[in-house]
Amino acid sequence: MSTLPKAFITPEEYLEMERKADFRSEYLRGEMFAMAGGSPVHAELAARVIQVIGSQLRGSPCKTFNTDLRIWIESTGLYTYPDLSVICGPLELAAGQTDCVTNPTVLVEVLSPSTEAYDRGAKFGHYRTIRSLQHYVLVAQDRKSIDVFTRRPEGWLLTSANQPGEKVTLEAAGCELALDDVYEGVEISPLSAAAAQGAPQQDHPR
């Protein structure tokens, strides 16, 4: 039995559909990829990171944006929605668009069982081509751990916080993430982590 090829969707068609949709989808090379909803822990951690960073950026030229902000990566063509974006200075928009931002300084993803490999691998491959990006932050939800990749002349430097009292610094935004602040009040148990390992994998743009 032959399989019908997927119809190619242009960026313009994607944006038209996306603006009317009830759920978000990523887009790459003519295909749309529905983004799965997060767990309560995922949502709580994303909110905590926004709160912790946002409180430090008051009065600064940097602003925080939640997952409703669409990021367009010009060099690869990926349209996506990070869990948190920090933009320092005026927003830069894709040509002819009013809702596709191109100049994040910091991007944060809360890891899920179905997305961790993608977030650490292919998605980071897209993100590190963004010229304005200085920090890529990964926040685990099955353990207390924060990884930060920071752009350096020699490459991307990894720093981590995974013990009480540890913190990571986001120099380009003039703020930091303390492990204790991010995970304060968040219930992470071995049982929930084990259950998460059985979560179905979802398709992602590559």
Domain assignment present for residue 103? The answer is yes
**pLDDT score of 114:** 83
Per run of 10 residues, the mean pLDDT along the chain (length 206 residues) is 70 96 95 88 95 96 97 98 97 95 98 91 97 98 96 97 98 98 86 45 68
Domain assignment present for residue 5? The answer is no
Domain assignment present for residue 126? The answer is yes
**pLDDT score of 189:** 62
Domain assignment present for residue 135? The answer is yes
CATH number of 128's domain: 3.90.1570.10
Please provide residue 84's backbone torsions phi and psi, each rounded to the nearest 5 degrees: -150, 135
Number of domains in the chain: 1
Strands 25-28 and 155-161 turn out to be: unpaired
Domain assignment present for residue 31? The answer is no
**pLDDT score of 82:** 97
Domain assignment present for residue 28? The answer is no
Q: Which tokens belong to 71?
A: 């990021």
Q: Are 111 and 141 in contact (CB under 8 A)?
A: yes
Q: How many CB atoms lie within 10 A of CB 206?
A: 14
Domain assignment present for residue 33? The answer is no
Strands across the sheet containing 70-73: 31-34, 25-28, 78-80, 70-73, 100-101
Domain assignment present for residue 110? The answer is yes
**pLDDT score of 188:** 84
**pLDDT score of 201:** 52
Range of the domain at 66: 39-195
Q: Specify the pTM.
A: 0.91
Separation between Cα atoms, residue 146 and residue 139, nearest integer Å: 5
**pLDDT score of 202:** 61
**pLDDT score of 36:** 78
